[in-house]
Chain A
Amino acid sequence: METRKPALFINDTGNRGRAQKLAVPLLLVTAGFALTFLLDGYHLLQATNIIGFAIAILGLNLLAGYNGQISVGQGAFLAMGGYTCAILMNRLGLPFWLAVPAAGCTSMLLGFLIAIPAIRLELLYLALATFSLAVALPQFAKNKVLAPWTGGVEGQSIQRPQPWSELGLNLDQTIYLYALLTAVVLFWLVHNLVSGRLGRALEAIKDQPLAAETMAIDTRAYKIKTFCASAFLTGVGGGIGAVATGYISADTYTFFISITLLIGAVIGGFRSILGAVFGAAFIVLVPMYAEKVAHGVAWALFGAATIAMMWLMPDGFAGLCTRLREHVQRLISRSSL
């Protein structure tokens, strides 16, 4: 019977045991938790940055990888999240752990306003519309009228939050641990979303919009909601990045950062959840080490690394993992026959 099955298989439901499914996420969380006490301040800051970018990329994966809506202006939501955090903390004295979710909410509001007209656009036009948003937003931040709030051209420092010293943590550890916990919750939520009925609906919309509607899927409503969820995630990522860095300016959010996010998403694997972590690590660590190795031509090195990654794993890191796992499974099933 086994031999009659076709060669191409993908995991859909219950092929892997619960323990096996939980192994990688658990390992990652444990390692992430251990880093709180292993890394020094500077490296912990980079780790927090990676987590912030991972959440932002998760939003992009949900939008583009699962729902097929390409956004090349995700940096706008990152900026929205960053500025919301800065303003809420500096002006209203909100604690950072409240400012970050609020950053997600304002970002989601912006996403909703953009989504209503943008949702009707075809792939390339949607890309252009989001591009315009990403280019426009930093300009607004530099605007003189808004400058008292945004810090204008010079940018502004963000008030350093209170560390959770009751838990014996210093400031860097506090922000890092908070980011880690937030990421765990958000990754879990998105995983639940995409692995169930709504996840199938989102992918159906990406694959065959007309057929999806015939399956009673309200494509317009789902696309808008996905856009909002994506904006929320990227906004939270932006908020975490801003709190960790402690400084924000319009130059942080040039169009370049949108493209960097896109690169991270592709390298991690568009249609994946945990791939976002790998993608984020790539876009934070590679430029940093490239600068050390080859001062002055760091971005050329980053470009070369990106091309090499695309060549080595065309479906991203997540795709590579899936292929390895399928290969191992095939070996096991062959040897057991």
Chain B
Amino acid sequence: MRFGGITALDDVSFAVERGTICGLIGPNGAGKTTCFNCISGVYQSSAGTVALAGRQLTGMKRHAIARAGVGRTFQNLALFPSMTVRQNVMVGGHASGRGGFLASMFKLPDVRRSEAEIEARAEALLKRFGLGQVAAARIDSLPFPTLKRVELARALAGFPSLLILDEPAAGLTHEEVDELATQIQRLRDEDGITVLLVEHHMNLVMRISDRVVVLNFGRKIADGLPAHVRTDPAVMTAYLGDDK
């Protein structure tokens, strides 16, 4: 992956096992977000491929990548301000709905059924993330940590098989991070979703990841169990600097 003359990601290759949590860490500018954007199709990589369950995602349109089962959240939130919390979550269920323009205009039975399903799914997710009270509230009236939960619920409404979370712990308090850790583990254990976690919050990543991939200056410098990565000399140098 290149931007102008700068190679942001260079020969980075890693695999995430189905139904596991993989942490992607690295110092600022290591290429975490670039890597993230390559997977979700925000950037087209100049070389290399991304595959999900054996299916090529490289070169696919963003909406098609989402339809193929890749869900994501955004570091700085990208909710829909003209809608309520409930409607935001319902947009997440778009892919599972049926009916085009004409069918929707005539509200055909299939469209009604599909709408009821999306609503039921949204309702269950609102409950799960403790958002029932604010379901009818507009986005701009709610605090940041609540909105982070809305984004998570919205991403889940689309039944993703791979969920990539961009710094989900950013801006949260200690207790909220603990709660988030539980929620992410539930995604793996109960929903069977594969999670790719891009995080600064080392504690969170080390605690819940099954595997950790470390990037630095666009290269992979470590890949393995959290305990191993923690003591890896290359990682320690990257984070703490070179003593020489």
Contacts and interface: CB of A to CB of B under 8 A. Distances in A.
Please determine whether chains A and B interact with each other in the same assembly: yes
B80 A5 contact: no
A8 B118 CA distance: 24
Contact of A10 (B40, B71, B84): B84
Given A197-B90, A197-B99, A211-B78, 18 more contacts: A6-B134, A6-B141, A8-B138, A10-B138, A12-B86, A12-B136, A15-B136, A193-B104, A193-B105, A197-B94, A198-B100, A203-B83, A212-B80, A214-B62, A214-B66, A215-B92, A215-B95, A216-B63
B130 to A, nearest CB: 12
Interface in A144-203: 189-190, 192-193, 196-201, 203
Interface in A116-130: none
A20 interface: no
Given A10-B136, A15-B136, A200-B91, A213 B62 contact: yes
Interface stretch (B3-11, B106-114, B194-202, B229-237): B106-114
A200 B94 contact: yes
Q: How large is the interface on A (under 10, 10 to 19, 20 to 34, 35 or more residues)?
A: 35 or more
Contacts of A212: 80, 91
B119 interface: yes
Interface string B155-197: 1001000000000000000000000000000000000000000
Contacts of A193: 101, 104-105
14 contacts: A5-B137, A192-B104, A197-B114, A198-B99, A199-B104, A200-B90, A204-B91, A207-B79, A208-B79, A208-B80, A210-B42, A210-B62, A216-B63, A225-B101
Contacts, number: 126
Contacts of A211: 74, 78-80
A203 B82 contact: yes
Contacts of B42: 210
A12 B91 contact: no
Nearest to A14: B119
Interface residues of B, number: 50
Interface of A: 1, 4-13, 15, 189-190, 192-193, 196-201, 203-204, 206-208, 210-219, 225, 229, 271
A7 B107 CA distance: 33
Shortest 10 CB-CB contacts between residues of A and residues of B:
A216-B95, A211-B78, A216-B66, A8-B141, A213-B62, A207-B80, A189-B105, A12-B84, A216-B67, A197-B97
B104 A8 contact: no
A213 B70 CA distance: 11
Contacts of B223: none
Nearest to B118: A197
A206 B82 CA distance: 9
Interface in B120-138: 133-134, 136-138
A213 B136 contact: no
B94 A216 contact: yes
B140 interface: yes
Contacts of A201: 91, 94
Contact of A210 (B78, B92, B95, B99): B78
Contacts of B115: 196-197
